[in-house]
Amino acid sequence: MVNIAKENLCINKLVAEKKDIIFVEGDMIVPDSKPDILNQIGTSGVICIYKKDLQEGKIRIDGNINTYIMYLPDGAGETVRGLNTNLDFSETIDIPNAMPDMQVTLSSKIKSIECRVINGRKIGIKAAVEIYVKVFKNEEIEIVNDIQDASDIQMLKENIAVNSLVGVGQTKIYAKDTIQIDNIDLLAEILSTNLSIVGKDIKVSYNKVLTKAEAEIKLIYLTEDNRINHITYKIPTVGFVDIPNVNEENICDVNYEIKNIIIKPNNQEEHSIYVEIELEVNCNVYEEKQINLIQDLYSLDQNLNIKKKQVLTITNKAKRKETKQISEKINLNNIEDMSLIDVTTTVQFIKEEKINSKILYEGELELSFMFLSKTMKIQIENAKIPFDYVIDNIQDGELLNVTNDIEVQSQDFIIQTGGEITVNVGLVINTDMNKTVNMNIIDEVEEVGARDEQDYSLIIYIVQKDDSLWKIAKKFGSIASDIARVNGIAEDNIIYPGQKLYIPKITKASAVSV
């Protein structure tokens, strides 16, 4: 009977991930209180996912896009006007190997949103939404990490570090605030809105993960005296995720999902806008665990039946938080005597190259400028700025799984004569890195009878291709360290095909476990 010792390991296995583009479409009838549409100027929106249902082989997503449309009215003397509607959607995405009891995280962003004037009282809206789904399976496994009271059993061990799952948790955050606008402004309607979660940070306390961030909301609005104004405001968000046994040495993955948003102007006399945001925060916590993994084993006098299984898990999990400053000069036409009221900034990596200790990125900054003329006419101008970004001082870069979360931390635009604009944009890049490892672990060991007695005292063996001292020792029931000693092989145990080795016979009484 082989007396084995086992160790517990909790793995958070990535079962599937999928990035997909869905299209959300709908029509809007202009309310009777609004003038007819001559032409649309710009469309913005905030996507909310209020329900996600993981099913066998697929996920169903329910949500809406809180959409704002700026348009030019059909009428003399009319300035820009605004419309607001919710585009509801329900979408099913195929996710191979997904099951209802698994864990899912989801991120979404609007890639593009546009509207088409069907007639003066009707608009068609179409949004392209990028959905990124990750499905995980949490699994408790036992691995054999030692053989007790068995001096005749030889073990080949490897000390590896894996990222074991400490726990998962979730919380909801309701961020509410009242945004004050200029006291001279009597708000007529909201023309545009954008929302992003920035300044993400975590603090670990006793059995809790404290999540901190800011909901940055950008609003453009129309006043009763037909002026266009804008405001950027940040609402602090704080949440506690309960996870037993978490500590400061652990690595936390935190994912934010916007579930709902309410934007409601207060009475004109209050000069304010009420904002309420519902967020869902999901947190996975990992610890680095050292495992003395048995790669192979054999007995000097017994035949062993060894059951193995493969376990897919992650290792070398690490996080990086770095800043990138982009400074560039661009030229735009026909913006003289116009004031800049808003810039929508979108950042993406378009190319990735992994080379040993570095990961090289080619990125692109997309800028959409909104200008306002003295006659209150809006003009949209677009520009793209390429940039490079490098993650260095890493190991085995080509083997890493890498995800990046890019935040726009600051932006400054200086307009000079002749349409030249100096662009200064500060980025915060949060990078998550890990390696996927397929561990071939020993699950059970049992004796199945005595090993055949070898009728020799010494064997001369010619080394074959792919041989190792361990394989040779196992084949002849010898001990690798004794073969090395007899043949004068150095500690690195290097052998080569065609080499002649003397294989000593080992008895149970003389065996020394390694």
pLDDT in tens, 87-137: 999 999 999 999 999 999 999 999 999 999 999 999 999 999 999 999 998
Binned at pLDDT 50, 70 and 90, residue 455 comes out as low
Residue 457 within a domain: yes
Residue with tokens 């999928």: 18
- One domain for residues 415 and 506: no
Across the range 50-62, mean pLDDT stands at 96
Q: For position 90, what pLDDT does the model report?
A: 97
Retrieve residue 382's tokens.
């677009």
Per-residue model confidence as pLDDT tens digits over 483-494: 999 999 987 788
- One domain for residues 325 and 468: no
- One domain for residues 474 and 345: no
Give the Cα separation of 111 and 22 in Å (integer).
Answer: 10
- One domain for residues 361 and 505: no
Residue 43 within a domain: yes
Mean pLDDT of the chain: 90
Q: For position 454, what pLDDT does the model report?
A: 66
H-run or E-run covering 426: strand 420-450
- One domain for residues 419 and 494: no
Give the Cα separation of 376 and 65 in Å (integer).
Answer: 28
For residue 391, how many other CB atoms are within 10 A of its CB? Answer: 21
Residue 66 within a domain: yes
| Of 327 and 508, more confident | 327
Q: For position 158, what pLDDT does the model report?
A: 86
Residue 154 within a domain: no
Per-residue model confidence as pLDDT tens digits over 58-87: 999 999 999 999 999 987 566 789 999 999
Binned at pLDDT 50, 70 and 90, residue 513 comes out as very low
Residue 147 within a domain: no
Across the range 15-24, mean pLDDT stands at 93
Q: For position 465, what pLDDT does the model report?
A: 93
Residue 214 within a domain: yes
- One domain for residues 384 and 502: no
Give the Cα separation of 65 and 264 in Å (integer).
Answer: 16
Last residue of a domain, one of 437, 468, 491: 437
The answer to whether residue 508 scores a pLDDT higher than 70 is: no
Edge-to-edge strand list for the sheet holding 81-94: 37-55, 58-73, 81-94
Q: For position 76, what pLDDT does the model report?
A: 58
Q: Which 3 state secondary structure label does DSSP give 419?
A: helix
H-run or E-run covering 68: strand 58-73
Residue 342 within a domain: yes
| Of 513 and 250, more confident | 250
The answer to whether residue 24 scores a pLDDT higher than 80 is: yes
| CA-based nearest residue to 275, from 188, 195, 189, 184 | 195
The answer to whether residue 388 scores a pLDDT higher than 50 is: yes
Given a contact cutoff of 8 angstroms between Cβ atoms, the answer to whether 347 and 196 are in contact is no
Q: For position 78, what pLDDT does the model report?
A: 67
- One domain for residues 463 and 494: yes
The answer to whether residue 456 scores a pLDDT higher than 70 is: no
The answer to whether residue 342 scores a pLDDT higher than 50 is: yes
Per-residue model confidence as pLDDT tens digits over 260-282: 999 999 999 899 999 999 999 99
Last residue of a domain, one of 437, 466, 490: 437
| Of 491 and 325, more confident | 325
Residue 197 within a domain: yes
Sign of the torsion formed by the C-alpha atoms of 389, 281, 109 and 187 = negative
The answer to whether residue 233 scores a pLDDT higher than 90 is: yes
Q: How many domains does the chain have?
A: 2
Which 8-state DSSP code applies to residue 337?
T
Last residue of a domain, one of 413, 437, 461: 437
- Domain limits for position 368: 10-136+166-286+317-437
Retrieve residue 60's tokens.
């169903």
Q: For position 512, what pLDDT does the model report?
A: 45
- One domain for residues 385 and 472: no
Across the range 40-47, mean pLDDT stands at 92
Q: For position 514, what pLDDT does the model report?
A: 39
Binned at pLDDT 50, 70 and 90, residue 48 comes out as very high
- One domain for residues 245 and 353: yes
Binned at pLDDT 50, 70 and 90, residue 336 comes out as confident
For residue 225, how many other CB atoms are within 10 A of its CB? Answer: 10
- One domain for residues 503 and 429: no
For residue 357, how many other CB atoms are within 10 A of its CB? Answer: 13
Q: For position 500, what pLDDT does the model report?
A: 94
| Of 493 and 509, more confident | 493
Q: For position 331, what pLDDT does the model report?
A: 92
The answer to whether residue 1 scores a pLDDT higher than 70 is: no
Given a contact cutoff of 8 angstroms between Cβ atoms, the answer to whether 36 and 85 are in contact is no
The answer to whether residue 384 scores a pLDDT higher than 80 is: yes
- One domain for residues 282 and 408: yes
- One domain for residues 428 and 460: no
Which 8-state DSSP code applies to residue 35?
P
Q: For position 140, what pLDDT does the model report?
A: 86
Retrieve residue 79's tokens.
């300035």
CATH number at residue 499: 3.10.350.10
